[in-house]
Amino acid sequence: MARKLISYKPPQTEESPLLPVDNPLPSANVNQTLQDATNCADHHYKSLRNERRKTVRAKQASTHLKTRVRTLEASVQHLSAQLVPPSLGSLDFQSGGAGIKKALTASVEQKLVKVKERLTKAEATKQDLRRRNHLLQMHVKRIPHQKALAGKKAFQKGIRSGELGKTYRIQKDRAIQDTARDLVRDLVAYGVPAASVNDTLHRVAETLDVSTTGNISARSVGRIVLEGGLASDLQFVEDVQQSTGITLSCDGMTHRHTNYESRQAVTIKQNGERMAHFLGVQSAVSHTNPREFIIKTTGLHTDHAEDQKKLVRLVQLWKKRIEREVRGEQALKTMASEEVLTIICEASQQTIEAAGGLDRWDQLSASEKEA
């Protein structure tokens, strides 16, 4: 069997992001050569398995033919004994007995010759299959050594050919490339400060013996990170639109008198797959004072429907009442205790009179008094 010469390059376990744009390193050729070597090894393994099966079938055929030969030989001996009995061995078969014996013997001998020829061919085929099986086994044993040797040569060749193409361009046509943007976001996620991203990138490239062209400013780093956040929001919106269900979770904590909230969401796709989204950590305005929202509300934008006009009037009344309460509380904090006590007594007297007198007030429940 003719041997197939292969050239092979070892695969790189982790693709470096600092690959040249115009003159790429020959890692693709190395991977392709390794794939060819693997395919060749698989082909030889399948051929070896097929040859083994052929050998087994040849052995079975040879055994069957040998059994048939023995059966035919026994049949010939039996027919000969029947045609020429010992008691009639001295008689002269002039009536044709000798002719019948010769005809039967010739027919059996012809079949026996054909069976022997088939047996000879089967033995030759079996020997040929054994020889081919041995060659394939030896070839398979040599494949690991050939792969290692080819990988070593290909790796050395790739290093020599890649020395001329080790240039990475951060910018192309005065625009930062997408690969550089991804790298910047990864560096920031790993904790590299925005002001140090450019120096870090150049230092790593220098360690890898890769020359770089172009720079990234701290402002560009901030914009790139914001772009990543917008892309993340768009991805979350797309997953929400394509999902069949959403699970939201939120947790809060206080650190140095400041409230923080962490939010997460899990989307369930149509195929049942779940995707977790981290929605960030933000500082909460307040957990105990719901009046801050309406106080900071300065306007509403609606159409001219009557229900929307009524909503605006209700919000105005709510805002006016809350603002008066807040200003009254602030004024009470600046008053003396005697003045506050006088105001509280006057307010209590007005409340009792509005309820219908002291007797009516005593009949009210605690919840009604609070109202």
Taking 60 as the threshold, does the pLDDT of residue 129 lie above it?
Answer: yes
Contact present, 151 and 7 (Cβ < 8 Å):
no
Q: Are residues 146 and 186 in the same domain?
A: no
Rounded Cα distance, 225 and 218, in Å: 11
Domain-embedded: residue 1: no
pLDDT of residue 289: 65
What pLDDT band is residue 288 in, cutting at 50, 70 and 90? low
What pLDDT band is residue 166 in, cutting at 50, 70 and 90? confident
What pLDDT band is residue 313 in, cutting at 50, 70 and 90? very high
Residue finishing a domain among 179, 210, 242? 242
Domain-embedded: residue 326: yes
Q: Are residues 269 and 315 in the same domain?
A: no
Taking 80 as the threshold, does the pLDDT of residue 281 lie above it?
Answer: yes
Packing angle of the helix pair 97-162, 27-83 (nearest 10 deg): 170
Residue finishing a domain among 165, 194, 216? 165
Question: Of 55, 56, 74, which is closest to residue 66 (Cα–Cα)?
Answer: 74
Lowest-pLDDT range of 39-48, 203-212, 287-296, 297-306: 287-296
Pick 224 or 119 by higher pLDDT.
224
Q: Are residues 40 and 158 in the same domain?
A: yes
pLDDT of residue 224: 92
Rounded Cα distance, 150 and 155, in Å: 8
Domain-embedded: residue 170: yes
Please provide the average confidence, as pLDDT, over all residues in the chain. 77
Q: Are residues 261 and 366 in the same domain?
A: no
Contact present, 272 and 247 (Cβ < 8 Å):
no
pLDDT of residue 21: 43
CA atoms within 13 A on the CB side of 162: 22
Domain count of the chain? 4
Residue 203 has phi, psi (to 5 degrees) of: -70, -40
Rounded Cα distance, 366 and 371, in Å: 9
Rounded Cα distance, 69 and 75, in Å: 10
Domain-embedded: residue 22: no
Taking 80 as the threshold, does the pLDDT of residue 228 lie above it?
Answer: yes
pLDDT of residue 19: 42
Residue finishing a domain among 233, 256, 288? 288
Taking 70 as the threshold, does the pLDDT of residue 255 lie above it?
Answer: yes
Domain-embedded: residue 274: yes
Indicate the DSSP class of residue 260. E
What pLDDT band is residue 102 in, cutting at 50, 70 and 90? low
Taking 60 as the threshold, does the pLDDT of residue 141 lie above it?
Answer: yes
Q: Are residues 259 and 236 in the same domain?
A: no
What pLDDT band is residue 39 in, cutting at 50, 70 and 90? confident
Region 299-314 average pLDDT: 89
What DSSP element (H or E) covers 118?
A: helix 97-162
Pick 87 or 265 by higher pLDDT.
265
Taking 90 as the threshold, does the pLDDT of residue 23 lie above it?
Answer: no
pLDDT of residue 314: 92
Region 81-102 average pLDDT: 50
Amino acid at 270: Q
Domain-embedded: residue 6: no
Tell me, what CATH number does 105's domain have?
Answer: 1.10.287.1700
pLDDT of residue 76: 64
pLDDT of residue 15: 44
Q: Are residues 111 and 183 in the same domain?
A: no
Q: Are residues 349 and 229 in the same domain?
A: no
Q: Are residues 112 and 141 in the same domain?
A: yes
Long-range contacts made by residues 156-161, C-beta under 8 angstroms, separation at least 24? 157/9, 157/26, 158/9, 158/25, 158/26, 158/27, 158/29, 158/30, 161/26
Amino acid at 90: S
Q: Are residues 34 and 130 in the same domain?
A: yes
Taking 70 as the threshold, does the pLDDT of residue 362 lie above it?
Answer: yes
Pick 365 or 26 by higher pLDDT.
365
Domain-embedded: residue 99: yes
CA atoms within 13 A on the CB side of 109: 7
pLDDT of residue 100: 56
Pick 198 or 284 by higher pLDDT.
198
Lowest-pLDDT range of 91-100, 182-191, 210-219: 91-100
Pick 182 or 98 by higher pLDDT.
182
∠ CA 337-338-339 to the nearest 5 degrees? 90
Rounded Cα distance, 5 and 26, in Å: 20
Q: Are residues 52 and 133 in the same domain?
A: yes
Q: Are residues 256 and 144 in the same domain?
A: no
Region 179-198 average pLDDT: 90
pLDDT of residue 29: 66
pLDDT of residue 206: 87
Region 60-84 average pLDDT: 70
Contact present, 61 and 111 (Cβ < 8 Å):
no
Pick 305 or 96 by higher pLDDT.
305
Q: Are residues 111 and 212 in the same domain?
A: no
Rounded Cα distance, 201 and 196, in Å: 9
pLDDT of residue 20: 44
Taking 60 as the threshold, does the pLDDT of residue 94 lie above it?
Answer: no
pLDDT of residue 80: 59
Burial class (CB within 10 angstroms; exposed 0-12, middle 13-18, buried 19+) of 140: middle
Domain-embedded: residue 311: yes
Structural domain of 107: 27-85+95-165
Region 176-194 average pLDDT: 90
Q: 270: helix, coil or strand?
A: coil
Indicate the DSSP class of residue 3. P
Q: 4: helix, coil or strand?
A: coil
